[in-house]
Structure 1
Amino acid sequence: MTNRANVLRALAWAGFCLVASPMIGIAQEEPAMETDTLYVIDLEDGSTLYGYIISRGDDALSIRTVAGLNIELEAVLVRSTTEASGRVVDGEYWSEDPNNTRLFFAPSSRPVPNGACYVGTYMILLPFVGCGIGNRFTIAGGAPVLFGELQPFYIAPKLTLIQNESFGVAVGTIAFSNWGAGLWDEDDFETIGIAFGVATFGSDDKALTTGLGFGYAGSDFASDPVLMLGGEARLSRRVKLITENYFIPTGEAIGLVMGGVRLLASNFSGDVGMLGATGAGALACCIPVINFAYRFGGRR
């Protein structure tokens, strides 16, 4: 009798396992994601979520956050979903540097994303604006606020010839002109500027940028180049180190040295640094460098 009872219990347990195991598997299975693309989800209350879309319908949006939580949102609560340009680090979303197309002043090889634009100021008194056209061309311009006038105006087109995750090359120019009444007599003033080429080695978080430029006035070009060496290193989600340095081989070699930090937000960046100059065996220090930029459009 005992053996019969043991056999029946064993058969009952085996039957339970056969029936229950598929149910257990279903309960533990994670819902499949609609895509492995990371999104920025802006809500109507002003908050922002970062995650992957599991499913979407007319009434609801299901997402998995970067922290691994599955959330279902009513569609009326969602303002927008935008493909993210940043990445996930230890369960935390790090947005792309919104101003990674330049160091303090010098350009990197990276283009402004197609359809994106930015506005900002150099040194408080030098407002500028720039936009990306296609995936290779960036056009920027601005003018210093001097004596209540926006003169001289400058324009800075840049063409990115090569750009991948770890290397890029770009060429361009920065050209100044009074284009009307300004600080110089129109009859005497020529367009002046610098034609340059830059190469960026590394990622958005850690990179080295080198540059070579020749100054010009009208159709006359300088015989000696200006050399630039700069770098960037991201320390955290919100902080990046920036350095930008120039060597100008004139009769007496002149060097300009800049270093500081960039504070990062989703679409905003602020640079705080110091500028020093060397030449003729002397060192001049220190001029504060304060820049701001806000990017809109494109990915976040």
Structure 2
Amino acid sequence: MKRFLSIYFVMMISLLPLHLVAQISPEEVTVDSTKAIVLTLTDGSQLQGEILSVTDTELELQKQAGRIFVRLDRIEVIHTADPDAPLRRWFKNPNTSRLFVSPTARPLQKGQGYYQNVYIFISGLSYGITDNFSVTGGISMLPGVRISNQLFFGGARFGGAVSENHYFSAGAVAATAGGADSALYIGFGNYTYAHSRGSFTTGITTFSVMDDVGAYSILLGMDYRFSQRIAFVTENHVFPQESATVLSYGLRFMGEQMSVDLAFLQPGAGINVGFGIPFLDFVFNF
């Protein structure tokens, strides 16, 4: 049981944020300055405006704030804007690449990143090296514990969209605490189906500590944005070999560049924690 709980605790700080979708061709772009369209980008964000021109590599988009140029390889799909749809007035979801503690398969783009703080004392940074590849790393800052004995973790992942709204990713992370005789190694493969208000994610996560190899969990998670600033998020892990589950559910409060999760964890395995163990984290995008 101790091993099961320690594995999940390290999963909580493994905040890994992949892109393989074909580029939109110039022939697929209709230049019409009188028709409002919505561009869905490869990172899940959206832009709305009128297309003024197109070249082999980019298109010119007229927005209310002015004209911008968008690379064709950053565009996942183009569709006509619905003038009555409320979603077109919402700011983009600032936290599409992760649930509470596990990553979705939706990627960070090149140059994008975020800082995450969990329970105040655990900090992590994730950054997109390319549109397909991102890295992460972090450290705990527990009071009264020397820096050499703190928890350190780092990892990477690769993947992205394989078709409209469908994403795959795979990655690995290693974590160790100062003075420990061994490290925990985690590998994962995830699939995400995304839609305008949220996403559904499933996948398999494997664990290895020293010669203890073969433990794994099945991930089932989703997020649903029922208003511009609030989403419901749930993340659930089934450990078949342990006959145990870890369930979580809560709310995500969003701004244009940040989000705060207030949730509860249910560790299962016969442990009675009432309503659940409170979970708190903060994410800021840069």
Q: Same fold (TM over 0.5)?
A: yes
Partner residue, 2:237: 246
CA distance, structure 2, for counterparts of residue 106 and residue 213 of structure 1 = 9
Normalised to the residue count of structure 1, the TM-score between the two structures is 0.65
Partner residue, 2:134: 138
Partner residue, 1:196: 188
Partner residue, 1:261: 251
- C-alpha contact 1:101 1:107 (8 A) present in aligned 2: yes
2:227 matches 1:236: yes
User: Number of residue pairs matched?
Assistant: 226
CA distance, structure 2, for counterparts of residue 168 and residue 210 of structure 1 = 11
Cα displacement string for residues 156-192 of structure 1 (whole angstroms, at most 9, x for unaligned residues) = 21111544432111111121034xxx2x25xxx2221
Displaced runs of 4 or more, over 6 A:
80-85
Deviation at 1:206, TM superposition (A): 2.7
* Amino acid aligned to 1:283: N
CA distance, structure 1, for counterparts of residue 94 and residue 253 of structure 2 = 10
* Amino acid aligned to 1:118: Y
Cα displacement string for residues 190-244 of structure 1 (whole angstroms, at most 9, x for unaligned residues) = 22121111111232523211121111124x4522321111111110111111000
Cα displacement string for residues 58-97 of structure 1 (whole angstroms, at most 9, x for unaligned residues) = xxxxx764xxxxx8x9xxxxxx979799x98438522222
CA change 1:34–1:234 in 2 (3 A) is closer
Partner residue, 2:15: none
Question: Unpaired runs of 5+ in structure 2?
Answer: 1-31, 40-46, 53-61, 76-80
How high is the sequence identity, in percent, across the aligned residues?
Answer: 23
CA distance, structure 2, for counterparts of residue 120 and residue 206 of structure 1 = 20
The within-5 A match list for 1:1-300 is 32=33, 52=49, 65=64, 89-90=85-86, 92-146=88-142, 147-150=144-147, 151-160=150-159, 162-178=161-177, 182=178, 184-185=179-180, 189-203=181-195, 205-218=197-210, 220=211, 222-251=213-242, 253-280=243-270, 282-285=271-274, 286-296=276-286
RMSD across aligned positions (CA) = 3.3
Question: Unpaired runs of 5+ in structure 1?
Answer: 1-30, 39-49, 56-62, 66-70, 74-79
* Amino acid aligned to 1:135: D
CA distance, structure 2, for counterparts of residue 271 and residue 164 of structure 1 = 29
CA distance, structure 1, for counterparts of residue 51 and residue 219 of structure 2 = 47
* Amino acid aligned to 1:202: A
* Amino acid aligned to 1:279: A
CA change 1:117–1:206 in 2 (3 A) is closer
- C-alpha contact 1:165 1:203 (8 A) present in aligned 2: no
Greater shift in the superposed pair: 128-137 or 164-173? 164-173
CA change 1:249–1:34 in 2 (3 A) is closer
Greater shift in the superposed pair: 112-121 or 202-211? 202-211
Partner residue, 1:4: none
* Amino acid aligned to 1:100: T
Partner residue, 1:23: none
Deviation at 1:246, TM superposition (A): 1.1
Deviation at 1:33, TM superposition (A): 6.6
Q: Which protein shows a greater Rg?
A: 1
Partner residue, 1:45: none
